[in-house]
Structure 1
Amino acid sequence: MKTLLIDVWKRLTPWSKTTDVYANDIDNAYPERMDRLINNSVTAKSAAAIMVQYLLGKGYGTDADGIIINKEKNLKLIDFADDVADDLVKQRGVFIHINWNALYQIADCSVIPYEWCRIGKKDTNDYSGKVAISKEWLKPKRTDIQLIDIYNPRKKVIDAQVEKAGGWEHYKGQVLFINMDTKLIYPLSRIDSVAEDCDSESQASVYKNRLLRKGFFGNTLVVTRPLVGEGLEPGSRALLDAETEREAFQKAIKDSLGAQNTGGVLCLEMDFAGEKLEDAILIKQIESKIDDKLFNYTETSVRENILVAFNNLPAGLVKTNESALFGNSGEAIREMKRTYWENTSKERNLLTAVLNQLLQRSQDYSSLTVQPLKLIEDAAPDNP
């Protein structure tokens, strides 16, 4: 008796000698693949947008939301927070570029697209001092890879980096890497465990679309006895008259079935036995091959799995059809919101800590501390 061993797919991070970075999976395209799976899945994309909103809450107050933290890009704090939250939700990690001034204060910061970044070689202390940035990692050129120092706010470290760069005017700044999987070189995406579910939801839509666009669904099949007799000479007057009558008959059939069916009628000629009318012509509607029950079960199953991956996002916060909206009481919706606010507390606290860490070292807002406003107010106390 043989034992069947099932290989479980695992994301690997091998060292790439050609680029001097740790590859993010064998093909070095894990971030792009996860992002594409999320965008192709309506549930995952909706869930990610909702989770980002729960990390931001109602913002940090009008005054704080509008402060500019990157003058060159005219980037406001709330927009920067949204960029950070988006990568924390989808990739569970984020790369933030930081520029220092000569007073060792943060002059500006911005989020680098996650898929552009890779970690450089580690030293004997298991520390990576560089982040490699490139817009293309499938077949990158060394000349297109930019190396930037990892975040370290110590003055001695910054001085050494500035000196090595040839002065402040040549200094590229640092990159702060937030990794929610501290035991891994790169974090696993939030949808890593439900990647196939995201793909299944996408492929189900593709399959149904192809059936509707290219299949026989909704067509009418008309079968008749041969309309052009055998033995007629090619090019003869009799053959031309018979073919003209065939075209007129087929056009009459299509017109009789309605304009909406034009182009959806298949005419087939074949020999029939018997002399009755029903033996001479057959009209049959081709039914859909889409199994609604099977698709409903599959789509419901993958949707539930995806929502669990996004910190147990309640389905009632995702569905927007009227029956789902009015099927829940106001209190039920509020309870879902309160529950999900608690479910996302870890990521929200991380986002808030990152923002305050950067603000405290900024040149203009070192005294500012932000805290997200709740999306739903606490229940009012009972009247005495």
Structure 2
Amino acid sequence: MESKLISVDSRKKKPVYNKQLGVIFNGEDNLYPVLVENLIKSSPTTGQCVEIYESFIGGSGFEAEMVEEPTDNLLETFTPEDLLFEITPELSKHQEVWIQIGYNAAYQKTEFEVIPDEFCRLGEEDSEKYIGKIIVNPDGWDRRADKKKIQIFDTYNPRPEVIQEQVERDGGWHNYKGQILHFKLNNLKGHYAESLVEKCYMFSDTEASMGLHFNRTVRKGFKDAWIIRHKKFDSPQKQKQFEGNVRTVYGNENTGSVLTVEDEFNSEAGEESKFKFDFLEDKTKAGKYEHFETSSANFIRKSFFNIPPQIIDFVQGKLGNSSGDDLRAAESLYNKSTSKHRKRIERLFSELYRNYHININPSGDWTIGLYKLMEDGTIQENDETTPIDNEE
């Protein structure tokens, strides 16, 4: 599934409602989440920043002790912490998550399922700007998607009278699919959240393009380009044979660095040969690539609430002579930078498990523990200045 590059200004335009699909578009081509996923996958720094941010907003899990739900199969146990660690990958990439909620006949919540962002779209607004339906297509939203697979869900509303009305409309509890809660970390007044990648998408795309350039350079054996100028061949067969010989000499993977051009030769100037070779040398200096790599990585890092460089280096195993004290300070700083989002996630879980079918959290405390990089023992806690062991 592909999506064309979206202008940052596209979010300022009037929302597009598609009557045929019954959805409000997310992005110019309705594939904004796919664009985000593609940029994250193709940009190493963006992917790493997403993982670091995900670790910090999910922290070390909930601090409170939870009650275990009775089950006949321990492998099917699904705890609030399991749900937390399913939600945080979606939030780290898209800043929003869609959660399908199931109810029992007592109007109590019984189960939760996270639906990928790329499958979900909002339905039409009413006259009061309320959106009562969420549309899900498990095929995604490109032109090849099977429209017959579209499913329509009710927007989250846990009031018993509302649930009962929906159950009766669907023909009973055995047909009822539940509701979907759409939770966002930003753009709270808009229809969809804005990925943190949106702030640095040009630099993420730059990294992806540089990776493609490096790959092509290696595949052609670091060879510079040649232009082979030749006279017109007597027959198409001879031209085909010549091109085959070129492939034999250079190899199929390297023929991209050879351009053959039909040309006229000047006999009066002594150009009696049927061929001429022009060499095109790539004079781009390695330092220029390094500059773009470093600059792009720096802009991407800043887009994710300014992840401290020490944390990036720690994850990469390149801290060098940085001390444990430096890393602890960076860890503390980023925990503070992401605290607002952890608090919003804590409120989300307080709402999700309100009126749950068992009292799974008797304390009612949904505090998320802070994430600690050094829990693996890389740095001894009793040594404030021990350098990181960076041997690979």
The change in CA–CA distance for 1:192 and 1:132 in structure 2 (over 3 A counts) is same
Q: Match for 1:188 among 182, 186, 194?
A: 194
The change in CA–CA distance for 1:74 and 1:116 in structure 2 (over 3 A counts) is farther
Is it true that 1:335 corresponds to 2:329 in the alignment? yes
The amino acid that maps onto 2:330 is M
The change in CA–CA distance for 1:68 and 1:293 in structure 2 (over 3 A counts) is farther
Gaps of 5+ in 2: 1-6, 227-257, 259-279, 375-380, 383-392
Q: Match for 2:217 among 211, 217, 227?
A: 211
1:52 is displaced (CA, Å) by 1.0
The change in CA–CA distance for 1:40 and 1:74 in structure 2 (over 3 A counts) is farther
Q: What's 2:303 paired with? A: 309
Cα RMSD, aligned residues only: 3.2
Identity %: 29
Paired residues of 1:65 and 1:77 also in contact (CA < 8 A): no
Give me the whole-angstrom Cα distance separating, in 2, the residues matched to 1:8 and 1:340. Answer: 26
Q: Match for 2:367 among 368, 371, 380?
A: 371
1:68 is displaced (CA, Å) by 8.6
Q: What's 1:202 paired with? A: 208
The amino acid that maps onto 1:332 is D
Give me the whole-angstrom Cα distance separating, in 2, the residues matched to 1:203 and 1:215. Answer: 19
Once the two structures are superposed, residues 301-336 of structure 1 have per-residue CA deviations (whole angstroms, 9 ceiling, x without a partner) of: 111111111111112111248884133111110000
Q: How does 1:347-366 map to 2 (within 5 A)?
A: 347-364=341-358, 365=360
Is it true that 1:56 corresponds to 2:52 in the alignment? no
Give me the whole-angstrom Cα distance separating, in 2, the residues matched to 1:346 and 1:324. Answer: 29
Paired residues of 1:359 and 1:369 also in contact (CA < 8 A): no
Q: What's 2:291 paired with? A: 297
1:121 is displaced (CA, Å) by 0.7
Is it true that 1:169 corresponds to 2:165 in the alignment? no
Q: How does 1:196-275 map to 2 (within 5 A)?
A: 196-217=202-223
The change in CA–CA distance for 1:190 and 1:65 in structure 2 (over 3 A counts) is farther
Once the two structures are superposed, residues 268-298 of structure 1 have per-residue CA deviations (whole angstroms, 9 ceiling, x without a partner) of: xxxxxxxxxxxxxxxxxx9875532111111
Is it true that 1:137 corresponds to 2:141 in the alignment? yes
**TM-score between both structures, scaled by the size of structure 1:** 0.73
Query: Secondary structure of 2:345's match?
Result: helix
Q: Match for 1:110 among 110, 113, 134?
A: 113
Give me the whole-angstrom Cα distance separating, in 2, the residues matched to 1:66 and 1:300. Answer: 48
Paired residues of 1:208 and 1:290 also in contact (CA < 8 A): no
Q: What's 1:17 paired with? A: 19
The change in CA–CA distance for 1:79 and 1:40 in structure 2 (over 3 A counts) is farther
Paired residues of 1:65 and 1:78 also in contact (CA < 8 A): no
**TM-score between both structures, scaled by the size of structure 2:** 0.72
Query: Secondary structure of 2:30's match?
Result: coil
Give me the whole-angstrom Cα distance separating, in 1, the residues matched to 2:54 and 2:141. Answer: 27
1:8 is displaced (CA, Å) by 6.3
Give me the whole-angstrom Cα distance separating, in 1, the residues matched to 2:41 and 2:282. Answer: 29
Query: Secondary structure of 1:103's match?
Result: coil
Is it true that 1:319 corresponds to 2:313 in the alignment? yes
Q: What's 1:36 paired with? A: 38
Q: How does 1:152-167 map to 2 (within 5 A)?
A: 152-167=157-172
Give me the whole-angstrom Cα distance separating, in 2, the residues matched to 1:354 and 1:56. Answer: 13
The change in CA–CA distance for 1:150 and 1:321 in structure 2 (over 3 A counts) is closer
Which structure: larger Rg?
Answer: 1
Give me the whole-angstrom Cα distance separating, in 1, the residues matched to 2:337 and 2:30. Answer: 31
